[in-house]
Amino acid sequence: MTRVATEKGDHQEQERSGGLGALSRSAQRRKRSLIVAPSAQRVDAAAVDEYLAALGGEAAPTRRLIEAVDATMDTVSSLSTLTTPLALEYLDRLARPIPTLTPESGVQIVSRSYVAHLVTEGTPEAVGATGVPLFELPPLRRGHPSQDLLTRVVKASRRNFERIRAVPGPVWDGFVRDLTRRAHDRAPEADPGDLLAVAVVDGLARFGWVLRQVDVRYGLEPERN
């Protein structure tokens, strides 16, 4: 299972990002290659505030989603026993095409997006959702999912994702922009080449969102503190 961070003090932001469990340790062993371009500019807190302000009426539910994820991350200690291996394998696949994706940022984005779905299930109206539609999955066979489960998850995160996103498009985009800021905060100021592109963050966020749907479909829950 993937441990989310438990350290306090100056490392509180890392704690909420998803921690340094098996997910991070595996990702740290990845080899890199230059394929996907980094972000053209850094996204900082001021840029996120400006972006959210431009959302108008959608700014409030976006901020509520971000704040709810902040509060809930401290209560979750791991993903489920099923979704952790899926996340491990997927992050490993991204080693070559996305050299700017550090282990810590990968864990942070996937974990926070998983939890975003979790909090949306509890109070959908607060974040602008009217329900939480799920993508289709075959039933378990003898207690096991289909062997192509990861492929199904990745496809669901890319094709017609809007159907299972639940929250309005502007709320999702604001949430992704905040995730990008958190990833960029980890990159040294002197090295803009380490900045993840917003599109990459969006793709990982979608993946984390769909991982939670897998657990919902199969009646699994994350481990709680």
Domain count for the chain, please give it: 1
For residue 28, being part of any structural domain is answered with: yes
Three-state DSSP class for residue 129: coil
Predicted confidence at residue 70, as pLDDT, reads 98
For residue 1, being part of any structural domain is answered with: no
* DSSP H helices in 123-168: 149-158
- Give burial (CB, 10 Å; 0-12/13-18/19+) of 188: exposed
Predicted confidence at residue 21, as pLDDT, reads 57
For residue 171, being part of any structural domain is answered with: yes
Structure tokens at 23: 């997910």
User: In which region does residue 9 sit, left (phi positive, over 0), alpha (psi from -120 to 50) or beta (all else)?
Assistant: left
> Quick one: what percent of the chain has pLDDT higher than 70?
83
What number is the average pLDDT over the span 97-118?
A: 93
What number is the average pLDDT over the span 148-156?
A: 97
Q: Which residue has the higher pLDDT, 60 or 30?
A: 60
For residue 106, being part of any structural domain is answered with: yes
Predicted confidence at residue 105, as pLDDT, reads 92
What number is the average pLDDT over the span 160-175?
A: 97
Residue 148, pLDDT above cutoff 80? yes
Q: Provide the pLDDT confidence category of residue 102 given band limits of 50, 70 and 90.
A: confident
For residue 24, being part of any structural domain is answered with: yes
Query: Which domain range does residue 129 map to?
Result: 9-224
Q: Which of 78, 63, 71, 68 is nearest to 111 (CA)?
A: 78
For residue 164, being part of any structural domain is answered with: yes
Predicted confidence at residue 189, as pLDDT, reads 76
Residue 224, pLDDT above cutoff 80? yes
Predicted confidence at residue 3, as pLDDT, reads 38
> Does the pTM exceed 0.75?
yes
Predicted confidence at residue 9, as pLDDT, reads 43
For residue 3, being part of any structural domain is answered with: no
How many Cα atoms within 13 Å fall on the side-chain side of residue 54? 10
At position 148, the amino acid (one-letter code) is: D
For residue 63, being part of any structural domain is answered with: yes
